[in-house]
Amino acid sequence: KQEVTQIPAALSVPEGENLVLNCSFTDSAIYNLQWFRQDPGKGLTSLLLIQSSQREQTSGRLNASLDKSSGRSTLYIAASQPGDSATYLCAVRFLQGGSEKLVFGKGTKLTVNP
């Protein structure tokens, strides 16, 4: 069964700290992996998309890495700010037969304290 696990479920850090969110997946046969941000009661905002052939992607203070062989991805947030407080979701696009399937993790709820 193709599953995506995110640890920790919740994280609270002081402002300015660098932090890492983790995502692990059970099957290395993937097309890509996408990190999303979700604010309370809102939809998802795409942050970074990493293709299966890539090792990392960067956008501003965010850096996402992908290690397919070990089934892991990390989202690194530098110099965290209170505005970064949100739930971060990892979604993996698995190969499934001749098609693909997008599977989400349950997310990590991040709180950045001023």
Binding residues for other proteins, rule: CB under 8 A, are 4, 31-32, 34, 36, 41-46, 49, 51, 89, 91, 99-100, 102-107
Q: How far is CA 95 from CA 27, 32, 100, 111, in A?
A: 9, 10, 5, 33
Q: How far is the CB of 9 from other proteins (least distance, A)?
A: 9
What are the phi and psi torsion angles at 86 (to 5°)? 180, 180
Q: How far is the CB of 14 from other proteins (least distance, A)?
A: 26
Task: Pick between residue 46 and residue 58 the one whose CB is nearest to other proteins.
Answer: 46
Instruction: Name the 3-class secondary structure at 83.
Output: helix
